[in-house]
Amino acid sequence: MTSTVLDDIRTRCAQVAAAARQVHIDRDTLERYAASFPVELLDAPFADPVHEPRDNAEATAGFVIALDAINFGSGWFPVLRKRPGMSGYHTVASCLQDVVAATGPLTGPRLRSSTPPEICDIFGQDPDGEAAELMGLFATAWNDLGELVDHRFDGSFTAMVEHADHSAARLVGTLDQLPFFHDRSPYELPDGTTIDVPLYKRAQIVAGDLDRAFAGSGPGHFDDLDRLTIYADNLVPHVLRLDGVLGFDDELVQRIDRGDLLESGEPAEVEIRAVAVHAVELIGAQLRAVGHARATSGRLDYVLWNRGADPRYKASPRHRCRCVFY
């Protein structure tokens, strides 16, 4: 079988996990964690009204891809003006739902012409506020996506998805042409060798979200969907850390507790994300070995990410990084 970018993610994350200096997996805890994992949640439907079908396939694909193009900014979320009772992500998603309902589907030309002031208006942010930098990045992300869709796929989001020929790995490769989807970092191993670590959080989640929006058919059918890894951000590693599966060294814990921003691509930031990917691979392998075939990394991610909404996890600081990858 030919190796794909999804295999590369697994390989490189395993290398980081073996070499990591500031983040480690507690193997004993991981084994107990997998043995007691609430496997019944793996069969629960993906309940997210954001990904309900829209008027037609083109509108649905356009909404999903445009939302995932700006599915980042967690480092700014503490200063983002949020809707009552909503997280940063759900604020962004619900604002986008409202503007599409009021003004019609998203198109390539519309994304290409988006400006930071317009983005501030769409997402309810002060153009002179702390979140203005993030809104400017959202505008750039949409401009780039609109250019790709218009110039390579004749303005069609479904054509871009169909180009992947039902391969999530190939869709990741297409999105990797966009700078804000190019989620890779160099990492130096103890022997001095530098490896390139791909994570592709948002490119992978596009495939997962299309699967949900189209109920696994048509543009949402991917033959290799079960090969997706977790969507490595700052929440799933946080859940795994508080649950004892991951351990951070004291200095890293102090930085997180102080609210220090980690730099994108610094060793600690790469280790947090990559070791979390590898840990969930190990959890999934243990569950599948005892007959839980549905324990793919994508489904485990969904359970763990939703667990992060519990007050116990919200009460403790998680790492923050101002980047365009998560």
Q: Closest Cα partner for 164 from 227, 230, 219, 229? A: 219
Phi, psi of 4 (to 5 degrees): -120, 175
Unique residue bearing structure tokens 């980081």: 16
Rg of the Cα atoms in the chain: 19
Residue range 193-213, pLDDT digits in tens:
999 999 999 999 999 999 999
HSE, CB side, 13 Å, CA atoms: give it for residue 19. Answer: 20
Can you tell me the distance from the alpha carbon of 240 to that of 304, in angstroms, rounded to the nearest whole number? 8
- 87 to 77, 242, 275: CA distances (angstroms): 8, 20, 25
Q: What is the residue type of 314? A: K
Report angle CA 317, 78, 63 to the nearest 5 degrees: 115
Task: Quote the pLDDT of residue 55.
Answer: 78
Domain ranges of the chain: 5-314
Can you tell me the distance from the alpha carbon of 113 to that of 250, in angstroms, rounded to the nearest whole number? 46
Single pTM value for the model: 0.95
Spell out, as residue ranges, where the chain has pLDDT lower than 70.
1, 47-53
Residue range 118-143, pLDDT digits in tens:
999 999 999 999 999 999 999 999 99
